Copies of this chain bind each other. A is one copy, B any other.
Amino acid sequence: MVKRGMLIVLSGPSGVGKGTVRKAIFEQGGNDFVYSVSMTTRQPREGEVNGEDYYFVSKAEFEAEIANGGMLEYAQYVDNYYGTPLKYINKTLDEGYDVFLEIEVQGAMQVREKMPDGVYIFLTPPDLKELKNRLVGRGTDSIEVIDKRIETAITEIKMMQNYDYAVVNDEVPLAVDRIKDIIRAEHLSVNRVMPEYTEMIGELER
């Protein structure tokens, strides 16, 4: 029997750089995990590719997927839907591959309820000023949107206690290394490896 893969969930406040970190993880390569592309109704940003960064769909298409029970999680955030299509995730886990999700915090909590065995990683800004600078620096959002996002970010940081790990995104390569450390360490956690050792004990006793 193939050992079921591990679900890895990267989340964190909007603007913290989840997408950049996730991209850097997969560009670096050498990973034993598969990226599960999210679905959203928001407009693609400069350079974002449909089917790679997100599945970009219309509001009607997204709501149809919800109605069909096809979403592992979804959330409405700054007037857009974001979510994870269920198809492929369980199949990939059953085949023994780890699956990597990069999702918003509302969605991460829905996933945690359904898949408590996952590894939940919260990406944090070094401080609020930095978060604000990043949002302004992006130059694609209005002041009102930025203020709303910061307020949301405070709420989200309070949600950190629902995660297993907190990774500061001070520098992308450092954040990438930390996330990879966490994934390697989690594979060694006794809760995850105990079934194999129970079998080994059986052999020692023969």
Q: Is B203 within 8 A of A128, CB to CB?
A: yes
Q: Is A201 within 8 A of B157, CB to CB?
A: yes
Classify the interface of chain A: helix, strand, loop or mixed.
Answer: helix
Q: How many copies does the complex hold?
A: 2
Counting contact residues on chain A (CB < 8 A from B), the size range is 20 to 34
Q: Is B127 within 8 A of A190, CB to CB?
A: no
Residue A61 lies at the interface, judged by CB distance under 8 Å to chain B: no
Residue A188 lies at the interface, judged by CB distance under 8 Å to chain B: yes
- Name the interface residues of A25-48: CB closer than 8 Å to any CB of B: none
A165 to chain B, nearest CB (A): 5
Residue A88 lies at the interface, judged by CB distance under 8 Å to chain B: no
Q: Is B194 within 8 A of A160, CB to CB?
A: yes
A196 to chain B, nearest CB (A): 9
For the complex of A and B, 8 pairs with smallest distance between CB atoms: A185-B185, A181-B184, A128-B204, A182-B185, A165-B188, A154-B204, A181-B185, A166-B193
